[in-house]
C-alpha cells in the first residue's frame, strides 16, 4: 500500500498543463525505478528470511533443541502482527485519525488525504484506487481453486517419497543450508562499492605437508563507514576540548578569583558601551 501511494505521488507530482523542469522530468522515472527495485528487494529478503527461519534444517545442536518462547512473548508478537494485518488490509480506517492530525497542522494541510471509504483506498484528486482487502480475498480464492484443481487432477496419480533436490549432490544436509553470510552475499556483491566489505581467509595446512589443506576459514565483515568517518573526529574534538577545559579548572582559588574579576570587568564594559 505504501509503495502504491508513493508511486501515485511521483506520477502525479507534476500538475496538468504545467511544464515540468528537466530535472523533475528525469528524476521521476528514476524514482519510480528505485521504488520498484526496493519493493523487489523487500520481497526477495522476506522470502529468504522465511525459508532460512522456518524451512531450513538446523545447523547446530542448540538450534535443533531450541524451544518456543513463553506465552507473553507470543501474545505481544500476535498483537503486533494483527495490528499490521488490519492496517495492511484496511488502511482507510486510519483516514479519520490522519485527518485530525492534519487539522492540527494547518501549514501543511491542503485537503483531506483520503476519500471516504473503508474497503477501497482512494486518494483525493487521483482517479485510481486500490483495495488491499479485495486483492487479498482474490489471491486467497485463487490459491484455494488452484489447490483444489491440483488435487482433483493429481488425485489418481501414485505418490512417491523422494528427497529434495540437493544441487546434484547425493543428499542434502544441514551444512548446505543458508547462513547469514550467504543470505547477505548477493546484496554485498551488488553494492560492493558502497558497503566495501572486508574479507579474510585463513588457510591451515597439515603439519606433514604444506600442500595439503586441513581447514579453510572465511570471514566477512561489513564495517560501518559512516561511523568510522564521523565518530572518531567528533570524539577526538570532544577529548581535546575536555583536556583544554581541565586546564582552566585546575582547582586553584586564585585562578577562580581571576575568572570572576575578568567577568565583572566584561560586564561593566558591556554596560558602559550599551548605555
- Cα 193 from Cα 106, distance rounded (Å): 44
| pLDDT given for residue 143 in this prediction | 94
pLDDT digits (tens, 9 = 90+) for 192-210: 888 888 888 888 888 888 8
Q: Alpha helix (H) ranges present in 51-207?
A: 61-64, 71-89, 95-103, 132-153, 180-190, 192-195
Residue-wise pLDDT tens digits, 120-149? 777 666 676 778 888 889 999 999 999 999
Q: How far apart are CA 123 and CA 120, in angstroms?
A: 10
Q: Is the pLDDT of residue 234 over 60?
A: yes
Cell numbers placing 220: 566477512
d(CA 262, CA 274): 18
Burial class (CB in 10 A: 0-12, 13-18, 19+), 92: buried
Instruction: Please tell me the pTM assigned to this model.
Output: 0.51
pLDDT at 18 over 70: no
What span, in angstroms and rounded, lies between the C-alpha atoms of 261 and 255? 10
Distance of CA 180 to the CA centre of its chain: 16
Amino acid at each position: 500500500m505504501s509503495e502504491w501511494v508513493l508511486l501515485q505521488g511521483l506520477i502525479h507530482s507534476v500538475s496538468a498543463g504545467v511544464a515540468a523542469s528537466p530535472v523533475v522530468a528525469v528524476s521521476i522515472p528514476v524514482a519510480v525505478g528505485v521504488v520498484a527495485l526496493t519493493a523487489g528487494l523487500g520481497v526477495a529478503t522476506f522470502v529468504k528470511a522465511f525459508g532460512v527461519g522456518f524451512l531450513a534444517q538446523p545447523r547446530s545442536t542448540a538450534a535443533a533443541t531450541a524451544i518456543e518462547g513463553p506465552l507473553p512473548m507470543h501474545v505481544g508478537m500476535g498483537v503486533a502482527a494483527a495490528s499490521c494485518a488490519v492496517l495492511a488490509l484496511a488502511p482507510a480506517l486510519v483516514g479519520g485519525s490522519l485527518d485530525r492530525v492534519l487539522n492540527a497542522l494547518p501549514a501543511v494541510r491542503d485537503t483531506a488525504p483520503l476519500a471516504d471509504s473503508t474497503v477501497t483506498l482512494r486518494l483525493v484528486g487521483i482517479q485510481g484506487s486500490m483495495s488491499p482487502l479485495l486483492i487479498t480475498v482474490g489471491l486467497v480464492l485463487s490459491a484455494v481453486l488452484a489447490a483444489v484443481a491440483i488435487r482433483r487432477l493429481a488425485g489418481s496419480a501414485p505418490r512417491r517419497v523422494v528427497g529434495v533436490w540437493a544441487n546434484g549432490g547425493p543428499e542434502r544436509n544441514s551444512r548446505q543450508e543458508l547462513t547469514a553470510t550467504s543470505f547477505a552475499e548477493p546484496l554485498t556483491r551488488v553494492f560492493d562499492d558502497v558497503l566495501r566489505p572486508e574479507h579474510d581467509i585463513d588457510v591451515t595446512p597439515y603439519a606433514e605437508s604444506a600442500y595439503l589443506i586441513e581447514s579453510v576459514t572465511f570471514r566477512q565483515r561489513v564495517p560501518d563507514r559512516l561511523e568510522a568517518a564521523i565518530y572518531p573526529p567528533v570524539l577526538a574534538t570532544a577529548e581535546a576540548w575536555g583536556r583544554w577545559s581541565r586546564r582552566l579548572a585546575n582547582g586553584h582559588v586564585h585562578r577562580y578569583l581571576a575568572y570572576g574579576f575578568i567577568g565583572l570587568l566584561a560586564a561593566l564594559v558591556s554596560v558602559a558601551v550599551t548605555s
